[in-house]
Amino acid sequence: MANKATSNYRIIVLISGNGTNLQALINDAPKSGFTIDLVISNKADAYGLKRAKKHQIPCKILESQLFNSQEDFDHALTVILDEKNPQLIVLAGFMRILGKKFVRHFHGRIVNIHPSLLPKYPGINTYQRALDAEDRTHGATVHFVTEELDGGPIIAQQSVEISPYETTETLAEKTLKIEHALYPEVVNLFASGRLKMTDGKVMLDKEIVSPKKGRFD
Ligand code: GRF
């Protein structure tokens, strides 16, 4: 199905790989209140680019390895984003750390989805770390992006149970499944004007969000 062109809440999605979260957003957009204006990948071979093209969503490739420095890459990305001026920049499996200047420039407009119940397990290998620690639950977090890696204000979380026979593969599968419901739901809340960051706090309908117990309850 083509991207809905009538919605005026415009997002740009940044990817590096498979793009299953991007696909979830693409699937949700026609019945929701947002439009994916552009997909940017820092990898030319990211499968997510194929997903976007299939739905006639414009794509740009900004190969991070072709830039001499983090500053140069961030600057090139800033120019593209400023030109398009999206309401929200949605990181969906974007495997590149963004510099402080970049993050400050887009303060309150960048969100990320992370495969753990933050603040537990920022960074990579979250499934293995949860299994090594013999955790009983794992999950996913949507958060604002700030200068601290995976450390910005938490918008929403959802957990999954870890079974005694869990492997990193089965845990990844379970976690991705909840991500695919959670991320479009959060973007929709932004699109409807219900969600924002005020003074470093996440506000939903003018109440401070406490994601600890589940999605938004
Ligand atoms: C997801 O697990 C997400 O939480 C993390 O990177 C993975 C991206 O998967 N940030 P995909 O590219 O959306 O399939």
List, for residues 35-48, the tens digit of each pLDDT value: 999 999 999 999 99
Contact indicator for 24, 51 with CB cutoff of 8 Å: no
Q: End-to-end CA distance of the chain, in Å? A: 32
Q: Could you tell me which residues are beta bridge partners of residue 140?
A: 158
Specify whether the CB–CB gap between 179 and 156 falls below 8 A.
no
Task: Work out the average pLDDT over 184-204.
Answer: 93
How far are the Cα atoms of 4, 6, 30, 55, 56 from residue 1, in angstroms, in the given order? 9, 14, 8, 6, 9
Helix, strand, or coil (residue 182): helix
- Predicted local confidence at residue 206, as pLDDT: 85
- pLDDT cut 70: percent of the chain above it: 94
pLDDT average, residue stretch 77-93: 98
- pLDDT digits 0-9 by tens, 129-167: 999 999 999 999 999 999 999 999 999 999 999 999 999
pTM: 0.94
Query: SS3 of 128, please?
Result: helix
- How far is residue 174's CA from residue 139's CA, in Å, rounded to a whole number? 9
CA of 18 relative to ligand 1 center, distance in Å: 8
Domains of the chain: 9-115+140-158+179-213 (3.40.50.170)
- Across the range 76-89, mean pLDDT stands at 98
Q: How far is the CA of 94 from the centre of ligand 1 (A)?
A: 8
Catalytically annotated residue among 114, 138, 143, 180 = 114
